[in-house]
Every structure is written in C-alpha cells, then in structure tokens.
Amino acid sequence: MNQNFLDFIRDFSGVRMAVAVSGGVDSVCLLCWLAACGADIVCLHVNHGLRKNAAVETEYVRDLCNQLNVPCEIFYWTDDKPTTGIEAAARNARYKFMTDFCHNNNISILLTAHQADDQIETFLMNLGRGSGLYGLAAMRRVTWRDGIKIVRPLLYVPRAELKKYCDDNGIKYFMDEMNSDPHYTRVRIRQNRHLLSEKLGISDARILLAVQNLGRVRDALDDEISEMVASVTNNQRAVFIDSFLFDPAPDIRLKLLGTLIQKIGGDEYQPRLNSLSNALDKLQHDCKFTLGHCTIRRLGNRILIVPEGAKTSFRTRHGKSKSESEKSKQKK
C-alpha cells in the first residue's frame, strides 16, 4: 500500500466518509485500500446508463462491497440525456447524487480516486490552453462542492501502482472504452506523454513537483485574496474604489474580481477568464453590466457588486454613500 496515501488518509481516521466508486481500477483500488485500513466508509456508485456494461459494473461494485463488508448505495441516472456536453452533464448528475446523499446522512467528506496521472494530464491540458497559475496548479487535494468536502487521497499515487496492486491481488476492475478514444484531448495526452520523458527528460515526478510548487503559490495567493474580499464585502454587496481592483498585478485583478463575483453571486464556479478580462475592460470607465448572477457598476472612482436584481445604489441605509458616511465620522 502506498505510503503517501497512508500518511494522507491518517488525518481522517475515525471520520465517517463516502467514497465514489465507478468500477474502474483507480476507484476499486481506493475502496480496497480504505477497507484494508479499517476506514469508516460507505461506497457510492452511480449507474449513468451510458455504457452497455453499466449494469454489470454496478453489480460488481455491489458484490465487491459485500466482500469487503462496506455499505453500498447505488444511484441511477434516468433523466433525459443531452445530445451535447454529455460528459459534463453526467459528472454534474453524479456529484448531485453523491453530495445529496452525504447531506442526508450527515457525512461531510466525499473521497474520489483522482490520481497522479490525472493530475499530470490536467496540468498538460491546461498548459496547452495557455492557462495561468490556477490552471497549471491543477487539482487540489481538498475542495468543496455543494457544501461537501471533496478529498483526493490518491492525487500523488501513480495509476500503474494502483493497477499493479489490483492485478497482484486478483482484484477485478473495468476499463472505460472512452479512456482509449483519441477523440478526447486527455486521451491523446495520455497516449503520448511518455515522449516528454523519453525525448526531453521531463519525468512525471518533475511535473508533479512543478504542480506542487505552483499549488503552494496558489494557496498563498488565495489567502491574500480572501482577506481582500472580506475587507470590502458586507451583506451580500461589495463597494470599493477603483485602485483596490486595479493596483494589484493583472493576474491578481482577475482572481480578485472572480472571487468577489463568486462570493456575491453564489455560483459554484467563477466566470471564465475571458469574461473576467472583458469585465475589467468595461470597469475602466463608468458602466453597468451583469456577470455571474451579479450586477456590477462603476460610477466615478467607485465600483459596486451586488446580486443580480438588487439595487445598485452606492448609498447606505442612511442615505449617504460609504465614503460620505466615513467623512461624517471623521468630522465628529
């Protein structure tokens, strides 16, 4: 069993957790390792009804849980399937099933089986897109979704090690045919990633080290931005002068504006980078527009962000703007 996994999962000892298990090698190995550690877990499996082997995989996950003496909950995605964006829709449905179950059963942690190869592929995909710091820092070990903590204990464990463990111990798993379809960018990266090491000497370990270093910078920046956001938000609105947004470096401006919009608009994700860039351009002058379920307004040197549909007045309840109120206090 991987020491990196053991060191990480030790912090969750004695905590009841849910674990997402698809039937693939990554999640099957995670389930077996957790059971071997004596973790207090319940297995969650979603049958999307998209593959011909879906029913067989569901039955296998159920049987494996019985063998491991792990409770198992099965969910079926029976909604109409979209003609486009099926992967994203399936992912959203899967998380909705699982986070709802966690809420209904007083479980605060959901474990997923994203592993080191997923992390490297995400980094390379984002590199190809020209992503900034946040894209290149790739996945976090701990995030939140719908109020549930999403934990990835395998994020620095290579897929080959997971496969070897299952093969050596006669543990069955299923292969997703989409994982070998070169139509997908991630699959093409997976099939050709070996060239980085063989031709350029860039090993997986070096890429993971770079991701970890970028992650530390991202986390430090997040802390700074959180403090900045807290300093200008109150009662679901943010009011600040233009220098607060435009004095920081460009990357920080984008993240700061995105965080403010996410906090006030209540969306799970921040607006896309190009949308934030366009918003910054608009905010160079007096304007009023909507983005991320927020209304954003600039008047003179002041900027206001409120939930979409709320009043966009800079005045406080007492009829004065924030700056006017502060001036009155100073005179007293």
Instruction: CATH number of the domain at 245, please.
Output: 3.30.465
Report yes or no on 319 lying in a domain: yes
**Same-domain check for residues 47 and 175:** yes
Give tens-digit pLDDT for 135-175: 899 999 999 999 999 999 999 999 999 999 999 999 999 98
Rounded to the nearest 10 degrees, the angle between the axes of helix 116-128 and helix 204-232 is 70
Report yes or no on 211 lying in a domain: no
**Same-domain check for residues 244 and 101:** no
**Same-domain check for residues 154 and 245:** no
Q: CB within 8 A of 99, min separation 6: which ones?
A: 110, 145, 146, 147, 148
**Same-domain check for residues 95 and 172:** yes
Report yes or no on 144 lying in a domain: yes
Give tens-digit pLDDT for 119-129: 999 999 999 98
Report yes or no on 222 lying in a domain: no
Full domain range(s) for residue 308: 233-331
Distance CA 314, CA 318 (A): 11
Report yes or no on 217 lying in a domain: no
Instruction: CATH number of the domain at 130, please.
Output: 3.40.50.620
Give tens-digit pLDDT for 12-35: 888 999 999 999 999 999 999 999
**Same-domain check for residues 120 and 237:** no
Give tens-digit pLDDT for 82-118: 888 888 898 999 999 999 999 999 999 999 999 999 9
Report yes or no on 247 lying in a domain: yes
The pLDDT-based confidence of 132 (bands split at 50, 70, 90) is confident
Domain count, the chain: 2
**Same-domain check for residues 158 and 259:** no
Whether the per-residue pLDDT at 238 is higher than 90: the answer is yes
Report yes or no on 214 lying in a domain: no
**Same-domain check for residues 141 and 280:** no
> In this structure, are residues 103 and 148 in contact, taking their beta carbons and an 8 Å threshold?
yes
**Same-domain check for residues 175 and 70:** yes
pTM comes to 0.82
**Same-domain check for residues 8 and 139:** yes
> What per-residue string of b and e applies to 172-184 under the rule 16 or more CB within 10 Å gives b?
ebbeeeeeeeeee
